[in-house]
Amino acid sequence: MNKIILIILFVMHTLMSGAQHLPQNIGRVLKQERSVVEGYAKEVYITGRKLRSYNLTAYRSFSIDINSKTKAAGKEIELAVRKDGRNAVDKEMVELAGRLYFAVYSLKQTDSKQNRYLFYKNNALKKEEGNIVIIYMEGSATLEEIRRKFAN
């Protein structure tokens, strides 16, 4: 019984502490919509040594399958990404029929002077069912460095 309680506490701590590595609005919405997208989402969260060669300290990605059950959550996620992007230092956006299709936001640096980036792509806008991909990165890497390293 004690092991189960420890596992539950560990999982809750992991979910709650991970939220600090996301921009405010998208972190809140993903937490709210977790039960809706459960079973339709994949999440990757990496910190530490694995990121050093990329000059990053945090990497977090979400891939959410969009279908009739998750479509409304997808729209909420898009609105949250737009809100977080409003205060971006630099941005690149592509819209399709008034909806956000692709975005790269350079967000304000952290208190410890780490660069922050938010990437968004809604593949469901080009076909009936697709996915939304959200990637958040934090570290000393510039946007150009990230593009070079992840393009290969």
Q: Note the pLDDT tens digit of each residue in 136-148.
A: 999 999 999 988 8
CA proximity to 94, closest of 117, 116, 121, 69: 121
pLDDT of residue 15: 38
Number of alpha helices (DSSP H) and beta strands (DSSP E) in the chain: 5, 6
CA-CA distance, 19 to 26, in Å (whole number)?
9
CA distance 130 to 7: 33
DSSP one-letter code for 43: E
Out of 119-123, 128-132, 148-152, least confident range: 148-152
